[in-house]
Amino acid sequence: MSTRDAPSPSLLDAFWRVVAREGWHGTTFARIAAESGETLSDLRGRYPTPVDLLRAHARAVDQAVLEGTVPGQHGFGSARDRVFDLLMRRLDALAPHREGVLRLQRDLMRDPISALLLSPILMASMAWTLEGAGISTGGIAGALRVQGLAGVWIATARAWEGDESVDLGSTMAALDRALDRAESLARTLRLTDEEADASPADAMPVERFDEPPLADTGTMMAEATGASPDTSDAALLPEVPGDVGEVTPPPSALGPEAPGEGGATPTPRAASGKGAKGNGAGKASLA
C-alpha cells in the first residue's frame, strides 16, 4: 500500500463511525469528510469510491496481522494452530472499529449483491492469512483453501458479534468448530494431508489477490460444513490427489500464490486450537 493511499488513523476512525451510524449504503464521502475534517477534494484525490477506502483499511489490517511472520519458516505448532492465531489476531486489529465492522457485516448479510461485489477484498485477506500460516494458495487446491477459510472467517465473525467477554471464549470456540468443519470437508473430498510446500517457480504475482474475478468469488456468505477435528500439521485444503474421481469442489476464489514459501512465527495464544473449544479460557487476541 502506497503512502498516498494509506489512510490516517483519524480518517479510518471517522469512516467506521459513519458506517456504524449510517450503514454501508449511507456511507458517503460528504459524511466522511464532515466526520473527519478532511476536504472532499483531498478524499477524491486518494479514494475514487468508499470501496477504495474500505480496501485500504483491509490492507492495513492485513499488514498488522502479518507483522512478525517470517517467509520460509513454519513457526509454532501445526498449520491449524497458525491459522487460528492469525484469525484471532485479525479480530484484534478490527476491535477498535468493532461497531462499524459489525454494522457492515449485518448490512452485507441482507444484501448479497453488495456482498458479492465486496468479496474480492475478503478473499485477498484470506489468501494472505494462509500465506502467513505457511499454507500454499497456488492452483486449484489453493483456491479451495482460500474459499474454505473465508467460510471459517464468516462463521467466526458472526460469533464475535454476540461475544462481549474479555477473553472472547465463545468466539474462539466458534473458530475451533469452524476449523473442524473445514478439515472434515477436506477429508470428505478425499484430499491429502500433506503440508503445503509452495515452490517459488510456480508463484504468480501477489498483486492479483486484490482483484480476483467476481465470478470466482460469489460464495462470500457461504459457511464451511463438516464435523471432526484434525490437528495435524496440514493445510486446510491440501492438494487434490489423482484419484479424486467425480467429486465436485465448491466454488473457488481463484487467487495466485505469493512468491516464495509462506510461513509464520507468531506468538502462541493461551487458548489455541482445542484449548479454546474446551472452556473458552485464555486471553484472546483479536485479528
Tell me the average pLDDT across 134-161.
91
Tell me the average pLDDT across 63-89.
80
Q: What is the pLDDT of residues 7-17, one digit of tens each?
A: 899 999 999 99
Tell me the average pLDDT across 229-258.
40
Q: What is the pLDDT of residues 19-63, one digit of tens each?
A: 999 999 999 999 999 999 999 999 999 999 999 999 999 999 999
Tell me the average pLDDT across 247-266.
39
**pTM, rounded to two decimals:** 0.66
The mean pLDDT value of the chain amounts to 73
User: Residue 78: its pLDDT value, please?
Assistant: 82
Q: Which run of H or of E encompasses 19?
A: helix 9-22
According to the per-residue pLDDT averaged within each range, which of 81-85, 124-128, 196-200, 207-211 is highest?
A: 124-128
Helix, strand, or coil here: 157? helix
Instruction: Copy the grid coordinates of residue 204.
Output: 504468480
Tell me the average pLDDT across 230-240.
40
Contact between 15 and 38 (Cβ < 8 Å): no
* Closest to 249 in 3D by CA, of 232, 231, 237: 237
User: Residue 77: its pLDDT value, please?
Assistant: 75
**Hey, how many other C-beta atoms are within 10 angstroms of the C-beta on 55?**
20
pLDDT confidence tier of residue 266, bands split at 50, 70 and 90: very low
Count of helix runs (H) and strand runs (E) in the chain: 10, 0
**Hey, how many other C-beta atoms are within 10 angstroms of the C-beta on 216?**
18
Helix boundaries (H) for 95-234: 98-110, 112-132, 139-161, 169-188
**Hey, how many other C-beta atoms are within 10 angstroms of the C-beta on 159?**
18
Domain residue extents for the chain: 50-279
pLDDT confidence tier of residue 269, bands split at 50, 70 and 90: low
Rounded Cα–Cα distance for residues 108 and 252 (Å): 20
